[in-house]
Structure 1
Amino acid sequence: MSDDVLSIIPTDAGWQPDRTAADRALVLVERLTPGVVDGVDVEIDMTWHDAVTAVDCGDNLQRIGCPLCRASIDTQWWGDLLEAHCDDGFATLATKTPCCGGATSLDALDYDWPCGFARFEIAVWNPERLWFDDAELAAVAEALGHAVRQVRARV
């Protein structure tokens, strides 16, 4: 059985909130998310990662585009990159694209289904909703004290 995970992450991959702000944001996410879906409790995890970690969309990933030459990037390249950094995270997001060899950042690639990178994450497992709307994201950002974005994964 697969799971859906709706994650909220800061827009700055290296940024982490203090505990008070994180707890405020968590309480808000809990209020915005139904507690039980189809008889199953919705689990919400809050994680401080030691290093910048990929927050990818899992099986939802359709395509990755190069922001420099607009070519498609093989998703196998992406999968290999994630596997290579699954234990230690990313010291830098700088990369050379496999299509044109251009220098860019991993967070600048054009992901079809959003992906991101973060040192802090609030993850809602199997939520009843697809996405948080703009007003809800703005409220979470205000509670956290930093702009946020969302990633929906199928794992």
Structure 2
Amino acid sequence: MSDDVLSVIPTDPYWQPDRAAADRAAAIAAELAPGPPGGVAVQIDITWHDTLTLVDCGANLEKISCPLCRTPIDTEWWADQIGVRHDDGYTTLVVEVPCCGGTTSLDDLDYHWPCGFARFEIAIWNPERTWFSDEELATIANALGNPVRQIRAHI
């Protein structure tokens, strides 16, 4: 069986909210992503990660491109970079991209579908919707106290 997870993370990968803000934002997310009509409510996980954590889109990942020169980036190179940084707790996301030799962040690569890094995450399991609208994300961000973005994973 596969699952879909709609995650909301801060745009600043290092930022973490306090418990009250996290609970407010998760409550709004629950209202915006209820389970199927007459069914069980969706599961929502609120997680504070000790170190930066990759929040990826799972099987939805189609391609990655360089934000500097727009050249496609080989997923094997990307996986190697993720592996190295995972082993050191993501102490840095800075990379030299192989296409143009420029310096950027793993968080700033152009992912199709979105991926990101975070120390805080609200994960909604198997929501009955694909994405939050910009207005809905702004409402969640206001409750959380920090701008947010969303990632939809298929696992």
Specify if TM > 0.5: yes
> Residue in 2 aligned with 1:97?
97
CA contact (8 A) 1:37 1:127 kept: no
Measure how far apart 1:129 and its partner are: 0.3
> Residue in 2 aligned with 1:62?
62
Q: Give the TM-score taking structure 1 as reference length.
A: 0.91
Change (3 A) 1:50 1:115: same
CA contact (8 A) 1:54 1:89 kept: no
Counterpart secondary structure, 1:72: coil
Measure how far apart 1:152 and its partner are: 0.5
Counterpart secondary structure, 2:13: coil
Aligned equivalents of 1:37, 1:63: Cα separation in 2:
34
Measure how far apart 1:85 and its partner are: 4.2
CA contact (8 A) 2:64 2:110 kept: yes
Aligned equivalents of 1:45, 1:87: Cα separation in 2:
25
> Residue in 1 aligned with 2:143?
143
Measure how far apart 1:78 and its partner are: 2.1
Kindly provide the CA deviation profile for residues 67-115 of structure 1, in whole angstroms up to 9, marking residues without a partner as x. Answer: 2222110112222333444465311111111222221111211111111
- What pairs up with 1:40-79 in 2 under 5 angstroms? 41-79=41-79
Which residues of structure 1 form unaligned runs of 5+? none
Is 1:9 paired with 2:19?
Answer: no
CA contact (8 A) 1:57 1:152 kept: yes
- What is the RMSD computed on CA atoms of the aligned residues? 1.9
CA contact (8 A) 1:16 1:120 kept: yes
Counterpart secondary structure, 1:24: helix
Measure how far apart 1:2 and its partner are: 1.6
Aligned equivalents of 1:92, 1:105: Cα separation in 2:
8
Aligned-pair identity in percent equals: 65
Aligned equivalents of 1:37, 1:130: Cα separation in 2:
16
Q: Give the TM-score taking structure 2 as reference length.
A: 0.91
